[in-house]
A = this chain, B = another copy of it.
């Protein structure tokens, strides 16, 4: 079962000035996919705070998937993609491309997302928009690829969708 951690990047929500509605929406979404909820944190739009949480959920908590929400826009305080790029070992550009391009027909403002995604150790990290509707619409585009991607990261499947090669060295246990 895929263990998912959530990181909300929001100055106002981290100070309690705005109520967060994204965590409940994403918890509901995760449950529907049959994935398990590992934990959630709300942090200000600061690169060090974001990096620290990503490293915590990846290295300490052994999350299979970290979904961040917020901080991917054009505001000066938006630094989630920059923080993500500093903790991942490999970029996985197909996720953000698909989220932007496949939601363009819903709104041409989809291209204002600067989201990125990548792999750190055994963990897949993906940036989502800050609002619940945008976040779940983006997940709809990529949800089918996520479990397969995680299985390959963790060595339970061979690459390129070929049959399992069961690469011993990549196994978690």
Give the docked Cα–Cα distance between A152 and B76 (Å). Answer: 8
Could you jot down 6 A-B contacts, CB within 8 Å? A73-B152, A76-B155, A81-B90, A97-B97, A101-B101, A130-B160
The answer to whether A104 and B98 touch (CB under 8 A), given A70-B160, A77-B167, is: yes
Knowing A101-B98, A109-B144, the reply to whether A160 touches B114 (Cβ < 8 A) is no
Distance to closest chain B CB from A111 (angstroms) = 3
Q: Assign chain A's interface to a size class.
A: 35 or more
Contact check, B159 vs A75: say whether CB atoms are below 8 A apart.
Answer: yes
Chain A interface residues (CB < 8 Å from chain B): 12, 70-78, 81-82, 90-98, 100-102, 104, 108-114, 119, 124, 129-131, 134, 141-142, 144-145, 148-149, 152-153, 155, 158-162, 165, 167, 169-170
